[in-house]
Amino acid sequence: MSILVNDQTRVLVQGFTGSQATLHSEQSIEYGTNIVGGVTPGKGGTTHLNKPVFNSVADAVEAEEPNAALIFVPAPFCKDSILEAADSGIELIICITEGVPTLDMLIVKKKIDELGLRLIGPNCPGIITPDEAKLGIMPGSIHKKGKVGIISRSGTLTYEAVKQTTDLGFGQSSCVGIGGDSIPGSSFIDMLELFNGDDETEAIVMVGEIGGSAEEDAADYIKDNVSKPVISYIAGQTAPAGKRMGHAGAIIAGGKGTAADKISKLQESGVHIAESLLHIGETVKKVIG
């Protein structure tokens, strides 16, 4: 088992013929991901990377029956692409693109929830189930099939957690980057629920950062609902208040959302805190080693 994606997942890439999509789709295919085709309006009927290209998601759904959409279109078009995938009933939609306007996301998120679909991202590295499927931009080679589930708001920090758990031999069941925006499609809680119910996952690593209250909300959820050990690192312990740290969502505003607050709330819920970025793997080892 794993969560969300495996070697059976049929992936449709939106914005397929663009340069970023081409680069990452090529790597995903090489990793063994079952990419069944792509969408680029106006290029329907052609092939790209030996896969069929369609003019619309609806055409692709009819021909290839994908059950996951991976979106690489530029930020101004993400709202349209996500809603198009949702309109065709694709259950899992992953949006990699950074810089989507927040008001677009409010509408998208509301619609996705109404339809009962799942959106991961935007502004995220995607999802990987090692040795089965890579739907995103993460470097496949650092992953190893195993028993730690990883959830993170940040791309490169996810890689750090992955590498440490790989080096110590634990490996990963699946890794999900939920993205660094203030309105993400899925929350820590959504992913904690899935990992907690996954047989293969023995421990969950949750990599958080300053800003918002997603980690605090996750702490409340973990206390009552998660039976597996959770290990957490919170980035931004040295970040000053009022300054946005790159991610739209990473800002300490009105004295709220500090790393210290998040850490103490997580500790109260029994979460094991990695004392620094370098200690994620070691903390996993202490808990399940």
Partner 1 sequence: MNLHEYQGKQLFAEFGLPVSKHEVIFNAEEAIQACNKIGGKKWVVKAQVHAGGRGKAGGVKLIESPEEARDFADQWLGKRLKTYQTDENGQLVSAILIESCTDIDKELYLSAVIDRSSQSVTFIASSEGGVNIEEVASKTPEKIIYENVDPLTGPQPFQARRISSVLGLDSDQAKQFSGMFQNFVKLFNELDLSLLEVNPLVINSEGKLHCLDAKINLDSNALYRHPSLVEMQDPTQEDPRESEAAKHDLSYVSLDGNIGCMVNGAGLAMGTMDTIKYFGGAPANFLDVGGTATQERVSNAFKIILADPEVKVVLVNIFGGIVRCDLIAEGIVAAIKDVGVNVPVVVRLEGNNAELGSQILADSGVEVESLNDLESAAKKSVQLAK
Residues making contact with partner 1 (CB under 8 A): 20, 24, 75-76, 98-104, 106-107, 109-111, 125, 137-139, 141-142, 152-160, 163, 180, 182-183, 207, 209-210, 212-214, 217, 233, 235-240, 243-250, 254, 275-278
Looking at the Cβ atoms of 29 and 277, the one nearer to partner 1 is 277
Looking at the Cβ atoms of 111 and 145, the one nearer to partner 1 is 111
CA 188, CA 222: separation in Å to the nearest integer? 10
Work out how close the CB of 199 gets to partner 1 at its nearest, in angstroms, rounded to a whole number: 28
The length of the chain is 289
Looking at the Cβ atoms of 61 and 262, the one nearer to partner 1 is 262
Work out how close the CB of 273 gets to partner 1 at its nearest, in angstroms, rounded to a whole number: 13
Work out how close the CB of 107 gets to partner 1 at its nearest, in angstroms, rounded to a whole number: 5
Looking at the Cβ atoms of 65 and 113, the one nearer to partner 1 is 113
Looking at the Cβ atoms of 9 and 164, the one nearer to partner 1 is 164
Work out how close the CB of 72 gets to partner 1 at its nearest, in angstroms, rounded to a whole number: 11
Work out how close the CB of 236 gets to partner 1 at its nearest, in angstroms, rounded to a whole number: 4
CA 180, CA 122: separation in Å to the nearest integer? 8
Work out how close the CB of 187 gets to partner 1 at its nearest, in angstroms, rounded to a whole number: 10
Looking at the Cβ atoms of 88 and 182, the one nearer to partner 1 is 182
CA 77, CA 198: separation in Å to the nearest integer? 34
CA 76, CA 207: separation in Å to the nearest integer? 28
Q: Is the dihedral of CA 189, 66, 38, 115 positive or negative?
A: negative
Residues belonging to the active site: 247
Q: Tell the residue number behind the tokens 């997603």, with chain if given.
A: 214
Q: Are 175 and 166 in contact (CB under 8 A)?
A: no
